[in-house]
Structure 1
């Protein structure tokens, strides 16, 4: 019995002294990615709710900005979601390369810490 307690205590001490930072970093990245995906979805819902002319670039920038503020995982999620959305839209909507380029510019602006209000159209309710 004493041997078992000693082994458990020794294992605990060794584990506690081990470098857990790689595991914690991966967990943090994943957590930030989930939060970033949520930020992107919230920006999309707000864009749909606002239904405001010429506001799409603002919501692109805002979603990317909010996600990237969470850290590398959030920025990664924002980039993956933005790229997939633009690929899908360019393949299905026929909106054209110029619109896709402008959307991606707004995405990158927000993701790199630029103020989303650069793309905010006049008159957009302050709720957004």
Structure 2
């Protein structure tokens, strides 16, 4: 997991230093780092909760929190998020598709509670 975090942070630095519309400001990097923390917090909470049926909620919540930070946070949610690319969740292609749907819902600003299962402790 530490390798993943290091990769995300390195990616943020490299992306911010590249020739792109967001590279001119420290704000992008700060928002991207905050977005990576939001994604990590959602993942950590998902693991801690260990609650059946809650994974989509945590996917949506992590992406929602990160994307609300601005362009850097949205980048972290889209390009630094979990289950990117063609990989599958370990529970099959359909579960991965639903995870991606929850990710996109959160990134677009949709309320993560749409995916909140009944009985999930209020702590989350």
Q: Which residue of 1 aligns with 2:71?
A: 72
Which stretches of structure 1, 4 residues or longer, exceed 3 Å deviation after superposition? 22-25, 86-89
> What corresponds to 1:85 in structure 2?
83
Q: Which has the higher helix share?
A: 1
**RMSD, matched Cα:** 2.1
Q: Tell me how far 1:126 sits from its aligned partner.
A: 0.3
Query: How many positions carry a matched residue from both structures?
Result: 104
Structure 2 match to 1:38: 37
Any stretches of 5+ residues in structure 2 without a counterpart?
1-20
- Give the secondary-structure state (helix, strand or coil) at the position aligned to 2:61: helix
Superposition TM-score, scaled by structure 2 size: 0.76
Matched, 1:123 2:119: yes
Question: Unaligned regions of 5+ residues in structure 1, if any?
Answer: 1-21
Deviations 1:45-102 (A, max 9, x none): 00000000000000000000000110010011011123x5244851x83x22211110
**8 Å contact from structure 1 (residues 86, 100) kept in 2:** no
Once residues 118 and 52 of structure 1 are traced to their aligned partners in structure 2, the CA distance between those partners, rounded to angstroms, is 16
| TM-score normalised according to structure 1 size | 0.74
Q: Which has the larger radius of gyration?
A: 1
Q: Does 1:107 align with 2:103?
A: yes
